[in-house]
């Protein structure tokens, strides 16, 4: 029995030794599992951090591109507005120049028409005066042939009579006034 006990003790020692090795192996396995879990978590964290960083960079690029496109669009719109404004100003200037030229042409035409009308009027008056002179000359010739005086001669004679008559009355009045 002693042998049995010794064998039991040996088995118990071996069992304890095996249990200790198993515990040591389990502990090492747990440490390895923990280390692998930690590495896994670290890799996952790093992986997701890189993904999030890439997403943020892409979002920043999109925002930057969007901002750049917006700025470019605004510049293009501003350039278009400036070009439209310049074109409108040039068009208005051209229209104003055309209107000015048209007004000047109309004024010139009106002035020429007025000048022509005045020249025609002067020519007509000169013709009338010439006709009147010719008529008076012809009338004067006829009166001389008949022995009559002209209306102008009659007027000159009447005027001279009035002057003489007027001076004679004035003389009588002054004589009367100074005698008194």
Six-digit token string for 170: 């004035």
Residues of the chain with pLDDT under 50: none
Half-sphere exposure of 168 (CA within 13 A, CB side): 6
> What's residue 139's pLDDT?
78
Please tell me the distance from the alpha carbon of residue 21 to that of residue 48, in angstroms, as a whole number.
39
Sequence spans of domains, the chain? 2-165
What's the pTM? 0.37
Six-digit token string for 44: 């996952």
Dihedral of the alpha carbons of 37, 43, 49, 50, in degrees to the nearest 10: -160
> What's residue 79's pLDDT?
95
């Amino acid at each position: 029995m002693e042998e049995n006990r010794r064998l039991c003790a040996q088995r118990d020692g071996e069992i304890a030794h095996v249990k200790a090795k198993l515990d040591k192996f389990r502990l090492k396995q747990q440490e390895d599992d923990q280390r692998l879990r930690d590495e896994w978590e670290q890799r996952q964290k790093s992986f997701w951090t890189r993904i999030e960083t890439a997403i943020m960079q892409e979002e920043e690029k999109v925002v930057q591109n969007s901002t750049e496109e917006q700025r470019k669009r605004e510049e293009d719109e501003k350039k278009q507005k400036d070009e439209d404004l310049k074109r409108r100003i040039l068009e208005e200037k051209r229209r104003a120049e055309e209107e000015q030229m048209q007004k000047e042409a109309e004024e010139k035409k009106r002035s020429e028409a007025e000048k022509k009308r005045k020249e025609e009027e002067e020519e007509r008056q000169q013709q009338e005066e010439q006709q009147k002179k010719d008529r008076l000359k012809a009338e004067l010739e006829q009166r001389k042939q008949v022995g009559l005086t002209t209306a102008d001669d009659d007027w000159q004679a009447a005027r001279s009579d009035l002057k003489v008559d007027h001076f004679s009355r004035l003389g009588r009045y002054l004589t009367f006034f100074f005698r008194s």
